[in-house]
């Protein structure tokens, strides 16, 4: 299983995502600098990490979305490579158009960092195969701009097509229809605000609910 | 030599130099300085940079231990944490800027302390802070709290260093002068530690990071004067932070540090290019020559005076090995940072600045740094201080009439209420190594990729320090020692941040020297040396109309080591049926307790003496607690501090979501002093192995009394002395504890 993690100036969860991928795939992920124009051959998973790419200046994820490497990521996604965008990575994926909608400032206006209760909205995606449908899990969030927005028609379509992967079980950031994570129409690109890579070891992190996301993905990719 | 305006007495005064100090400038120069030179003297001789009022007293602090690699004097302290690794840490104040502009003041405080740590080669792994605000209902306070919290979060979250702990107090003495102290802990390999002494005549001096702008000019001088009614006009002296650039600077510096290209490196903090270049040259015993035209500038038309005094953030100065300039430049260009060779190391012992083909400053380095003024300020004697502070002995105190109501009120009071509203705005988990999050006695962060854990805590009880500076200084160190011990970590060393009012008042000097004496005794007795620190004086304000001095606030930041982080203890009650013990003797000392202040309405002069600290007991009790945790005897541990044993028990219940029956209070007599007194050296612990605990405590001759049992969804205190049982449902307790900050700050606090 071969994976890569994209590194933008200002990424700060790149190492955490790499650790999670290393521990679950058993192989060291390739760290890919944002200025690269191509990805390594034979990739199965591309991780777009959390952090503050370009300081979140202008708009979260907006500048990173224009990085040379994102064209290569879009090409890989089109070929079916699994793309996982966490937090700022989710914002980058919406800004590149790989996922619909946008992440706005939290409704409460404050940055929020805590474990949140999530519901697995669709356990049939390649990212959620190790969860049960409607399972209640806990994964931390840490963001200022996690308030998911899309127009009603898009939201209806996301729900109708089973593309909402995770929902918040309580109020967190004002997201439309409590959406915490969505997949693209082909099902191989997931963007989510919670940080599964921060909850992969029950002893250190309290729970390991995030680990199953990686394990499920690896199993699905076979 | 360019000679702008002649130096008048007024210009000297504007630069914060006394007439006597200006005489010293004239003597050391052998001529009249020009404005640039005067500016350089003024910042180097400011209290902030020179420690001129505190230096002779700081020398008395213990700074050595076998595990200390580098004590005070460098950018941060360095201690050995085994396996060839070192922890590097320091705490620093950003009080004055944070009062004037809370967001940027606090943000740049975090940025500055981060640079102090990574400039020595460490990757920052944790931030902490110690905050003091004025009365919660002061008209300016919500704005200040919101700004400071958002500033700390805005900077720390963006650079990706978790903010894992801290402390917050409220007191009217901070109404016009809040305190923002920030601490960073980093980890480095011992063979990759970088120091600031310049060497190698002819080596290049390199500037990296952000460009120099006009922000923060004279920040160090501003931070060395008390506030007046016009302090808002000083806003242009506050620097503006750019955490994104800081993140790039961290990565670029660490990448370069992995090579052998660097001879010396120093961040540009207070007094910017001036203090960094002077310190590097004077520590190395060399000279320095700078080409001011080569300094990367954000604005056009900047003068050497402005460039030397700017406190623009996210800048570093380095001395590189010959021929390594291109290699280093490539790294900084990759990270999209400025890189410029701006000078050379010389053998003259002087600082020479050239600009537009002229020499615009030429100063001998000795007088700027090592020979800066040093004051032994008049200090009130202990008796004089006692008379001035006027703390009366505590008279007869009424018993609590409603124990449950008292506990609920205390849990909701500003100094005890849950700080969740604050720390949920800080990313306290980035790095995925935070194994004990905020809310416990100490935060624990894994040393990445190892079983080791670093425990850290910030502590100080200013009301104790006012009532008795010596005991208060001891107590700040002892509480830090206790907090680290309560998670099972071996306390290794501390950093301090000494916040006091004007040193030109003998009573304030008595506070400073008293606290330092207590601190020094505690450090010696607990083998807990001071490896770095910072002094912030002139923390008083006429802005609120009073001439208000802050309470003496010598904040302590401590670091401890766990060989195996997974053995660390937490405060949470774990399981129904486990026994609750109080470890350490209860003297029922109510003086200066929060119960007295919040319930009986007695504080300050009317609240008596603070609890004394017996350092030998503190050490013995801490040692026992740590060994009991390491051996798995204890299932939870929590130190008793603000609010005493009752508050400690309540916090443990809330953290675990389980109640307790506290039964054995009767035999100890009246419940108020026992449960609300703030006796030192005590821990509340739980265990399923009460016999072993009792035997181990007896062997160590340490008092341990079983006081109850974990269980249920309420706290029940069987108060036999008053023939009543106080029952407090956990839901009520939680509502009280969690309510204060959200009620104060409200949903619109982000806009305050």
The DSSP line for A22-76 is HHHHSSPPEEEETT-SSPPTT-SEEEE--B-GGGG-SSTTTTGGGSHHHHHHHHH
SS3 state of residue A180: strand
Chain B closest-CA separation from residue A153 CA (Å): 31
Query: For B158, which of A55, A110, A205 is closest by C-beta distance?
Result: A55
Active-site residue identified among B15, B57, B94, B171 = B94
Q: Which of B36-45, B71-80, B716-725 has the lowest mean pLDDT?
A: B716-725
CB B279 within 8 A of CB B205: no
Share of residues in chain B with pLDDT > 90 (%): 87
- CB pair distance less than 8 Å for B157 and A52: yes
CA distance B687 to B441: 18
Contacting residues for B39 by C-beta, under 8 A, at least 6 apart: B15, B274, B305, B308, B309
Residue B310 pLDDT exceeds 60: yes
Q: Which B-chain residues 525-554 have CB contacts (< 8 A) with chain A? A: none
- CB pair distance less than 8 Å for A12 and B159: yes
Cβ neighbours of B431 in A, within 8 Å = 15-16
Inform me whether the C-beta atom of residue B565 falls under 8 Å from chain A C-beta atoms.
Answer: yes
Residue B222 pLDDT exceeds 80: no
CB B74 within 8 A of CB B515: no
**Arithmetic mean of pLDDT, B488-493:** 98
Q: What is the pLDDT of residue B371?
A: 84
SS3 state of residue B476: helix
Cβ neighbours of A50 in B, within 8 Å = 430
Both tokens of A117, joined, read: 């209760």
**Would residue B48 show up in a list of annotated catalytic residues for this protein?**
yes
Q: Which of A40-49, B75-84, B536-545, B596-605 has the lowest mean pLDDT?
A: B536-545
Compute the mean pLDDT over every residue in chain B, rounded to the nearest whole number: 93
Q: What is the pLDDT of residue B220?
A: 57
Compute the mean pLDDT over every residue in chain A, rounded to the nearest whole number: 97
CB B247 within 8 A of CB B160: yes
CB B578 within 8 A of CB B688: yes
Residue B546 pLDDT exceeds 50: no
Looking at the structure, give the CATH architecture of the domain made up of residues A3-221: 3-Layer(aba) Sandwich (3.40)
Both tokens of B741, joined, read: 């900050």
Q: What is the pLDDT of residue B668?
A: 56
Active-site residue identified among A197, A205, A215, A219 = A197
**Would residue A197 show up in a list of annotated catalytic residues for this protein?**
yes
Cβ neighbours of A194 in B, within 8 Å = none
Banded model confidence at residue B188, pLDDT cuts 50, 70, 90: very high
Query: For A111, which of B153, B160, B336 is closest by C-beta distance?
Result: B153
Q: How many beta-carbon pairs below 8 A join chains A and B?
A: 88
Quote the Cα angle for B383-B384-B385, to 5°.
Answer: 90
Active-site residue identified among B15, B48, B589, B638 = B48
Residue B742 pLDDT exceeds 50: yes
Inform me whether the C-beta atom of residue B622 falls under 8 Å from chain A C-beta atoms.
Answer: no
Cβ neighbours of B158 in A, within 8 Å = 10, 12, 52, 55-56
Residue B221 pLDDT exceeds 70: no
> In this structure, are strands A30-33 and A3-7 parallel, antiparallel, or unpaired?
parallel
Burial track B40-71 (b if 16+ CB lie within 10 A, e otherwise): bbbbbbbbbbbbbbbeebbeebbbebebbbbb
CB B486 within 8 A of CB B569: yes
> Best interface-test mutation with B: which of A17, A34, A55 has the largest number of B CBs within 10 A?
A55
Chain A closest-CA separation from residue B414 CA (Å): 21
A174: region left, alpha or beta (phi > 0 left; psi from -120 to 50 alpha): left
Complex ipTM: 0.97
Cβ neighbours of B159 in A, within 8 Å = 12
Inform me whether the C-beta atom of residue B385 falls under 8 Å from chain A C-beta atoms.
Answer: no
CA distance A178 to A147: 9
**Longest CA span, chain B:** 89
- CB pair distance less than 8 Å for B157 and A10: no
Report phi then psi at B324, rounded to 5: -100, 10
Residue B218 pLDDT exceeds 80: no
Q: Where are the domains of chain A?
A: 3-221
Q: Which of B12-16, B589-593, B676-680, B713-717 has the lowest mean pLDDT?
A: B12-16
Cβ neighbours of A51 in B, within 8 Å = 160
> Best interface-test mutation with A: which of B147, B249, B427 has the largest number of A CBs within 10 A?
B427
Nearest chain A alpha carbon to B446 = A204
Q: What is the pLDDT of residue B231?
A: 59
Residue B5 pLDDT exceeds 70: no
- CB pair distance less than 8 Å for A195 and B247: no
Residue B529 pLDDT exceeds 70: yes
Q: What is the pLDDT of residue B1?
A: 46
> Best interface-test mutation with B: which of A111, A140, A202, A203 has the largest number of B CBs within 10 A?
A111
**Arithmetic mean of pLDDT, B51-73:** 95
Inform me whether the C-beta atom of residue B68 falls under 8 Å from chain A C-beta atoms.
Answer: no
Q: What is the pLDDT of residue B578?
A: 98
| B594 against B238, higher pLDDT | B594
- CB pair distance less than 8 Å for B430 and A12: yes
């Amino acid at each position: 299983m071969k994976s890569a993690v994209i590194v933008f100036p200002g990424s700060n969860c790149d190492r955490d995502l790499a650790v999670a991928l290393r521990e679950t795939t058993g192989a060291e992920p390739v760290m890919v600098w944002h200025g690269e124009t191509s990805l390594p051959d034979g990739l199965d998973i591309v991780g777009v990490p959390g952090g503050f790419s370009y300081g979140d200046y202008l708009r979260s994820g907006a500048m990173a979305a224009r990085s040379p490497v994102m064209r290569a990521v879009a090409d890989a996604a089109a070929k079916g490579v699994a793309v996982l965008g966490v937090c700022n990575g989710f914002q980058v994926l919406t800004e590149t158009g790989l996922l619909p909608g946008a992440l706005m400032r939290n409704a409460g206006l404050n940055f929020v960092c805590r474990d949140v209760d999530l519901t697995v909205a669709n356990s049939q995606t390649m990212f959620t195969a190790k969860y049960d449908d409607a399972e209640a899990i806990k994964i931390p969030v840490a963001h200022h701009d996690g308030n998911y927005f899309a127009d009603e028609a898009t939201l209806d379509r996301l729900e109708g097509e089973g593309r909402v992967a995770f929902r918040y079980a309580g109020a967190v950031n004002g997201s439309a229809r409590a959406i915490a994570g969505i997949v693209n129409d082909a099902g191989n690109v997931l963007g989510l605000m919670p940080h599964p890579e921060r909850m992969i070891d029950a002893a250190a992190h309290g729970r390991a609910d995030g680990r199953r996301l990686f394990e499920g993905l690896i199993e699905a990719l076979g | 030599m360019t000679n702008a305006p002649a130096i008048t007495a007024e210009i000297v005064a504007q630069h914060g130099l006394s007439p006597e100090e200006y005489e010293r400038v004239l003597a050391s120069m052998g001529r009249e300085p020009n404005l640039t030179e005067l500016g350089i003297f003024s910042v180097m001789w400011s209290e902030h940079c020179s420690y001129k009022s505190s230096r002779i007293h700081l020398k008395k602090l213990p700074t050595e231990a076998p595990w200390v690699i580098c004590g005070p004097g460098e950018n941060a302290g360095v201690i050995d944490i085994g396996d060839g690794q070192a922890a590097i840490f320091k705490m620093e104040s950003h009080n004055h800027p944070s009062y004037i502009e809370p967001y940027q003041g606090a943000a740049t405080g975090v940025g500055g302390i981060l640079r102090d740590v990574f400039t020595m080669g460490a990757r920052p792994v944790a931030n902490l802070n110690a905050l003091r605000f004025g009365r919660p209902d002061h008209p300016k306070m919500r704005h200040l709290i919101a700004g400071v919290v958002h500033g700390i979060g805005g900077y720390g979250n963006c650079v990706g260093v978790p903010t894992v702990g801290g402390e917050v107090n409220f007191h009217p003495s901070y109404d016009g002068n809040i305190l923002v102290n920030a601490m960073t802990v980093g980890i480095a390999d011992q063979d990759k530690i970088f120091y600031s002494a310049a060497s190698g005549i002819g080596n290049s001096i390199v500037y990296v990071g952000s460009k120099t702008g006009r922000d923060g000019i004279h920040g160090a001088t501003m931070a060395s004067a008390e506030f007046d009614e016009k302090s808002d006009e000083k806003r242009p002296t506050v620097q503006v932070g750019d955490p994104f650039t800081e993140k790039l600077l961290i990565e670029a510096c660490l990448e370069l540090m992995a090579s052998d290209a660097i001879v010396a490196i120093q961040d540009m903090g207070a007094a910017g290019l001036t203090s960094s270049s002077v310190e590097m040259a004077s520590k190395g015993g060399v000279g320095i020559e700078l080409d001011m035209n080569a300094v990367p500038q954000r604005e056009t038309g900047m003068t050497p005076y402005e460039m030397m005094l700017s406190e623009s953030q996210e800048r570093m100065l380095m001395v590189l090995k010959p021929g390594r300039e291109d290699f280093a430049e490539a790294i900084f260009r990759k990270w999209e940072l400025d890189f410029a060779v701006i000078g050379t190391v010389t053998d003259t012992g002087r600082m020479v600045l050239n600009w537009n083909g002229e020499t615009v400053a030429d100063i001998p380095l000795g007088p700027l740094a090592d020979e800066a003024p040093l004051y032994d300020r008049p200090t009130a004697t202990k008796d004089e201080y006692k008379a001035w502070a006027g703390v009366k002995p505590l008279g007869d105190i009424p018993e609590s009439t409603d124990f449950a109501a008292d506990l609920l009120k205390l849990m909701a009071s500003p100094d005890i209420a849950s700080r969740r509203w604050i720390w949920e705005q800080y990313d306290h988990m980035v790095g995925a190594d935070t194994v004990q999050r905020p809310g416990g006695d100490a935060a624990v962060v894994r040393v990445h990729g190892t079983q080791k854990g670093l425990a850290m805590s910030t502590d100080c009880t200013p009301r104790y320090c006012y009532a008795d500076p010596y005991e208060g200084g001891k107590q700040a160190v002892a509480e830090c020692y206790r907090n680290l011990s309560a998670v099972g970590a071996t306390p290794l060393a501390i950093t301090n941040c000494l916040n006091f009012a004007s040193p030109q008042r003998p009573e304030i000097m008595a506070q400073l020297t008293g606290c330092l004496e207590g601190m020094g005794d505690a450090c010696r007795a607990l083998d807990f040396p001071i490896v770095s620190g910072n002094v912030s004086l002139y923390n008083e304000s006429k802005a609120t109309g009073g001439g208000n001095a802050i309470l003496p606030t010598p904040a302590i930041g401590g670091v401890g080591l766990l060989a195996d982080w997974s053995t660390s203890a937490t405060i949470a009650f774990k399981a129904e049926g486990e026994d609750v013990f109080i470890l350490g003797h209860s003297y029922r000392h109510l003086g200066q307790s929060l119960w007295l202040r919040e319930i009986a309405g007695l504080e300050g002069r009317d609240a008596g003496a603070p609890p004394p600290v017996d350092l030998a007991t503190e050490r013995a009790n801490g040692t026992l607690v740590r060994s009991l945790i390491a051996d798995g005897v204890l299932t939870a541990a929590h130190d008793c501090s603000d609010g005493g044993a009752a508050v400690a028990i309540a916090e443990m219940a809330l953290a675990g979501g389980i109640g307790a029956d506290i039964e054995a209070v009767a035999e100890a007599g009246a419940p108020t002093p026992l449960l609300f007194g703030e006796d030192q050296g005590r821990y509340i612990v739980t265990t399923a192995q009460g016999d072993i605990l009792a035997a181990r405590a007896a062997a160590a001759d340490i008092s341990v009394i079983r006081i109850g049992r974990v269980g249920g969804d309420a706290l029940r205190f069987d108060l036999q002395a008053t023939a009543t049982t106080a029952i407090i449902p956990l839901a009520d307790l939680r509502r009280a504890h969690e309510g204060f900050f959200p009620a104060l700050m409200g949903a619109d606090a982000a806009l305050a």
